[in-house]
């Protein structure tokens, strides 16, 4: 569903990505793992058009989207949940979800999908009229994912969903990610520093190091790799 070939991205004179190539099959969960500064978030930002690539190609759902503006990419149902959640702090939970649905015209679908989000994350239903900025990090992460689901995505990119969240909520959020993948048939590209969790729920993984793909393979193989264990799994 997504194919990236030889992607190069720079921030001024700093080269962030050096020829990253990856594939995400339809209906799968694929993960990018790596240390801070490896280029994981930059990869997602390039895929959603938030940063422009210097060279390389991005093909999504049969079309090249390398030079498309972010709003054009979202309209093709590729949604990005950014690192740090980026909820609208002064808006309520309900208003944040409405913002996620701004491209959707079918009110019945919006209502049904909102109920699905509340089914996934009952805490959001409990806090429907609460300002998003007053919620915990885990609750805001649930809201950020819920808001993206109101965009009717076919492809969902999640950037560090476990960052700064209590372990109990991390487990719940990852269970919901698997549920979304299975129930809604969503293809998911997951960037995550918690490599153990990421490799547990994904079918395939890429290890990024200083802007390049160092290793790739089925998630179970990466988890068993001594180099990956030593560098990323606390082994």
Confidence (pLDDT) at 232: 84
Provide the number of structural domains found in the chain.
Answer: 1
Give the residue-averaged pLDDT of 159-167: 88
106: pLDDT strictly greater than 90: yes
- pLDDT tens, residue by residue, 16-42: 999 999 999 999 999 999 988 899 999
- The length of the chain is 235
Q: For position 214, which CATH number holds?
A: 3.40.50.300
CA atoms of 110 and 72, how far apart (whole Å): 20
Query: Residue 64 forms beta bridges with which residues?
Result: 59
84: pLDDT strictly greater than 90: no
Confidence (pLDDT) at 235: 54
Confidence (pLDDT) at 166: 86
- pLDDT tens, residue by residue, 123-151: 999 999 999 999 998 899 999 999 999 99
Look up residue 213 and give its two tokens. 């793909």
- Domain coverage including residue 20: 2-232
Report CA torsion sign: 55, 56, 57, 58: negative
**DSSP per-residue codes, the chain:** -EEEEEEEEEETTEEEEEEEEEEE-TT-EEEEE--TTSSHHHHHHHHTTSS--SEEEEEETTEE-TT--HHHHHHTTEEEE-TT----TTSBHHHHHHHHTTT---HHHHHHHHHHHHHH-HHHHHTTTSBGGGS-HHHHHHHHHHHHHTT--SEEEEE-TTTT--HHHHHHHHHHHHHHHHHS--EEEEE-S-HHHHHHH-SEEEEEETTEEEEEEEHHHHHH-HHHHHHHS--
4: pLDDT strictly greater than 80: yes
Task: Please say whether the beta carbons of 197 and 178 come within 8 A.
Answer: no
Q: What is the CA radius of gyration of the chain?
A: 17
CA atoms of 52 and 36, how far apart (whole Å): 21
Task: Please say whether the beta carbons of 115 and 94 come within 8 A.
Answer: no
Query: Residue 207 forms beta bridges with which residues?
Result: 33, 215
Mean pLDDT of the chain: 94
Question: Assign residue 206 a region: left if phi > 0, alpha if psi is -120 to 50, beta otherwise?
Answer: beta
- pLDDT tens, residue by residue, 40-64: 999 999 999 999 999 999 999 999 9
Confidence (pLDDT) at 40: 95
Share of the chain above pLDDT 90, in %: 84
Confidence (pLDDT) at 163: 87
């Amino acid at each position: 569903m997504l194919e990236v070939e030889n992607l190069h991205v720079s921030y001024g004179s700093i080269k962030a990505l050096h020829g990253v190539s990856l594939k995400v099959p339809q209906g799968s969960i694929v993960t990018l793992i790596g240390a801070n500064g490896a280029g994981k978030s930059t990869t997602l930002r390039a895929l959603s058009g938030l940063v422009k690539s210097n060279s390389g190609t991005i093909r999504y759902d049969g079309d090249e989207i390398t030079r498309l503006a972010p709003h054009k990419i979202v309209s093709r149902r590729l949604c990005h949940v950014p690192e740090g959640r980026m909820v609208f702090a002064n808006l309520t939970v309900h208003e944040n979800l409405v913002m996620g649905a701004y491209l959707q015209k079918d009110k019945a679908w919006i209502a049904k999908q909102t109920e699905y989000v509340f089914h996934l994350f009952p805490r959001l239903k409990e806090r429907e009229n609460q300002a998003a900025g007053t919620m915990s990090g885990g609750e805001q992460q649930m809201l950020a994912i819920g808001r993206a689901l109101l965009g009717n995505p076919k492809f969902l990119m999640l950037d560090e969903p476990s960052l700064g969240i209590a372990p109990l909520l991390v487990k719940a959020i990852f269970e919901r990610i698997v549920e979304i993948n299975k129930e809604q048939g969503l293809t998911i590209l997951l960037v995550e520093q918690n490599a153990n969790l990421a490799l547990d729920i994904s079918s395939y993984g890429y290890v990024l190091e200083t802007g390049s793909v160092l290793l790739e393979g089925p998630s179970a193989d990466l988890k068993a790799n001594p180099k990956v264990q030593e560098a990323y799994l606390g082994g």
